[in-house]
Amino acid sequence: MLKKERAAYILEKLESLYPEPPIPLDHKDPYTLLVAVLLSAQCTDERVNKITPLLWQLADNPFDMAKVPIEEIKAVIRPCGLSPQKSKAISVLSQMLVNQYDGEVPVDMDALETLPGVGHKTASVVMSQAFDIPAFAVDTHIHRLAQRWGLTNGKNVTQTEKDLKRLFPKDRWNKLHVQIIYYGREYCTARSCYGLTCPICTTCYPNRKKPKIVLKP
């Protein structure tokens, strides 16, 4: 298969498997999504979804969260890991939203990336899932699958994002990001497929005999 043929097949396959994929992180508005995505760094979505209801009991908006002591935030989110950094980021970004954006999450990629704890991937998720503005959030999992599927030779997530944006229609980016996440969890996990067993890998590369070595970002 040529790369364009692989991309077309992958689009069709993922659409058949996940026609209406729900957003993995539970949230009720842009702010709670922003905080949930921040918490998901080096933590599973499943654990984040168990912790955020407890955090929302403390505060579920930037006005109230800005008043919560960092130690109280840290105590709640400790199971998510990196709690000292994440609790400070949640507190400071909440204060910034109140002081600079009237308590609203800005609908702007550059503005989002100025918030503490918010990198390009987190900002992309918020832009795409909270505001339905085309973005292609690429994390280490999507980077791994894109390499296994021969969609990129990128050595980092930045290059992989550029390659995927060139390959796929812009109006599919937001949905495709979520579809790839679900497919990776179900069929093409880090420690099971290695580019050799899942339906997409075996269809795109039927003659592959050795595990696909993925360049880590």
By annotation, the residues acting in catalysis are 121, 139
Q: Helices 83-101 and 70-77 meet at what angle, rounded to 10?
A: 130
CA angle 55, 61, 63 (to 5 degrees): 120
> Considering only CA atoms, which of 153, 150, 159 is closest in space to residue 215?
153
Cα 137 to Cα 186: distance, rounded to the nearest angstrom: 19
Question: For residues 123 and 115, what is the distance between their CA atoms, to the nearest angstrom?
Answer: 9
